[in-house]
Amino acid sequence: EVDKMVLKERPNVRFEDVGGLTVVKEELATVVLALKNPGIFTRGGTHPPRGVLLYGEPGVGKTLVAKALAREADADIYVVRIGDVLHSLYGKTERVIQSVFDRANENGACVIYIDEFDALASHRDKSNEVTSRIVSVLLTNMDGLEERGKNIIVVGATNRLDAIDTALLRPGRFDLTIEVPLPTEPERADIFSIHMKKANVIADSQLFEDEFDMSALARRSNHFSGADIAEVIRRTLVKRVRAISEGKDPGHVKVQDVIEQVERHREFLEKRKQSGSTGQYI
């Protein structure tokens, strides 16, 4: 059951594959150090961080940067989708969390990533017996890490910092709280170029025309998250694949092809905002 719910991975993304998020990566560099060499903190007269809380809007790269953190530290990552666990294993959830720690304890350095952390740690749920039992399993395990000399970091991610019980944010718990913001204009250019390079690597050829005007893309994609940008590039390439399947020679991708998808995606985002829906367009 745990294997179905909790994905263990040795990620292959590095900090350089995460666009923008300079401050986030700087802060996480300390966590890399804690995973690689926890003793250095003790020698420095302090404690390594044990819990990190990443907060920001959906799609800004919280999961991506947590995977890159693990990769930079040569560590495994356990991704716990707590919403799914709560939903399907209601009542057994704390055992799932305990067994993740048991497995992590048998391992070398690792990151335990808990998505939708607010579902677990909401102060509005204080009366909820299940969630408070899970939180206590989490905290008991985190408390013991230092004495056991374990280099395990728990990373919680949420879109709703306001919903997190402040008791969890005390020193020695999730004491490193990092905002993961929407990308700025130059950061969006950076994210576009990361996803274009990734596509070139997959295709093993240069798909995009020379002298691609990244700044035009960055300007037009105001308020887009990294996930929105990845989706725009994916849609541009899917359109190109369709042309190939119809026997046409699509040539290189032009900046105008991407702009077309940026505009389409913007309309979709606006419609979604108006309707309050979270659905996907087809």
- Using CB under 6 A as the criterion, which residues of the chain lie in contact with ligand ATP when the complex forms? 18-21, 58-64, 115, 157, 159, 191, 194, 226-227, 230
C-beta of 58 vs 91, nearer to ligand ATP = 58
Least distance in angstroms from the C-beta of 70 to ligand ATP: 13
- Strands annotated E in the chain: 6-9, 51-55, 76-81, 110-115, 152-158, 176-179
Residue nearest to ligand ATP (CB): 226
Structure tokens at 24: 């986030």
Closest by CA position to 229, among listed 62, 101, 113, 60 = 60
Least distance in angstroms from the C-beta of 134 to ligand ATP: 19
C-beta of 58 vs 251, nearer to ligand ATP = 58
C-beta of 20 vs 49, nearer to ligand ATP = 20
C-beta of 51 vs 61, nearer to ligand ATP = 61
Q: Which residues lie closer than 8 Å to 154 by C-beta, 6 or more apart?
A: 50, 51, 52, 111, 112, 114, 138, 142, 174
Distance CA 81, CA 86 (A): 9
Distance CA 237, CA 82 (A): 33
Least distance in angstroms from the C-beta of 51 to ligand ATP: 17
C-beta of 19 vs 49, nearer to ligand ATP = 19
Closest by CA position to 20, among listed 180, 159, 157 = 180
- Within 10 angstroms of residue 139's Cβ, the number of other Cβ atoms is 19
Structure tokens at 254: 């032009």
Least distance in angstroms from the C-beta of 32 to ligand ATP: 17
C-beta of 165 vs 190, nearer to ligand ATP = 190
Distance CA 156, CA 167 (A): 14
